[in-house]
Chains A and B, each alone.
Chain A
Amino acid sequence: MSKQVVSTSISVGLATGLYGISFGAIGVASGLNIPTVMLLSLLMFSGASQFAFVGIIAAGGAPITAISSAWLLGVRNSFYALRLSPVIGPSGLWKLLAAQLTVDESNAVSAAEDTPRNQRVGFWLTGAAVYVFWNSATLLGAIGGNLLGSVETWGLDGAAAAAFLGLLWPRLKNNLTLAALGAVVALIAIPLTPAGVPVLLAAAVALLPIRGQKWSSL
């Protein structure tokens, strides 16, 4: 495996996993106790779904509403799993572990690599790094809720934005139209729709018959 895929995996894991601080703080502020907040990060392990879940609980929503919102927001992981399945080819119990670690970051790092070996290493290492950092950070945030401000003070939100751009970058060359459409749809949807929906709409853009993967004029 190359050093590059290791450093990419760890940096993605750190930049996005540390967001767990926000989640931990918000979870406790929503009225959940620390073990329950931890259970969400350990078991659900899917940022958007978790934030939606605690948001609904905090607003006094019914359990079934919280469960179904979290479920709906998780649909993109299914598509990640579809494309990852032949790449990492897990068998037996490894399937369960691979499924748990299938998130935006692990899929994106894997997709950005070019050799099959690095695609596999990128998936497992990023998934493990995000899992470890996301859960440790959740605990930190849940215990010291007012750490919340530190996400911004330390520029972590800027790091996460840069991390996602860096993952998208190698794919822009061949998919500029698609990426631009996804971004525009999100921009329009953010002020108009509830949290989580912009991402769902951007996912739906992939279903449109937009001309191929090549963008030869570039």
Chain B
Amino acid sequence: MVLTVVLGSLAVFSWKLIGYLIPDRLVGKKGRSIADRMTVTLLAALVVLQGFASQNALVLDARALSLATAAVLLAIRVPYIFVVLAGAVVAGVSRYLGF
């Protein structure tokens, strides 16, 4: 099993390393733009996954309230750390209250 873990880790690491080994001039404007856009689409997907996914189902639970609260706080430019804290407090409290 240790060998499987090491091989798997090397496989995952290879993706990460290759990005640093390709010279920037070969990447070009188009490549950089795709990488930038991917940061956006992936973050959007991670928000959805983290906020609404439970295994293979979509659910509305306390996390949706956390996201809504976070959106309001971000809109009024509350510092990031408080947005994250509020996300935890809202989910924790609303679960405690039985949501």
Contacts and interface: CB of A to CB of B under 8 A. Distances in A.
A156 B43 contact: no
Interface in B35-53: 35-53
Contacts of B16: 74, 77-78, 80-81, 99-100, 102
B12 A165 contact: no
Interface residues of A, number: 92
B60 interface: no
Interface string B45-83: 111111111011110001101110111001000011101
Interface in B12-36: 12-22, 24, 27, 31-36
A121 interface: no
Contacts, number: 295
Given A155-B62, A159-B66, A165 B5 contact: no
19 contacts: A40-B8, A43-B5, A67-B8, A71-B8, A77-B15, A80-B39, A155-B88, A155-B95, A162-B70, A162-B84, A164-B50, A165-B74, A182-B44, A187-B48, A191-B57, A191-B58, A195-B55, A198-B53, A202-B41
Interface of A: 4, 7-8, 10-12, 14-15, 32, 36, 39-40, 43-46, 49, 53, 57, 63, 66-68, 70-71, 73-86, 90, 95-96, 98-100, 102, 104, 107-108, 111, 152-169, 171, 175, 178-183, 185-187, 190-191, 194-195, 198-199, 202-203, 205-207, 210, 213
Interface of B: 1-2, 4-9, 11-22, 24, 27, 31-53, 55-58, 62-63, 65-67, 69-71, 74, 79-81, 83-93, 95
Of all A-B residue pairs in the complex, the 7 with the closest CB atoms, nearest first, are A81-B19, A158-B91, A162-B87, A158-B66, A155-B92, A182-B41, A202-B45
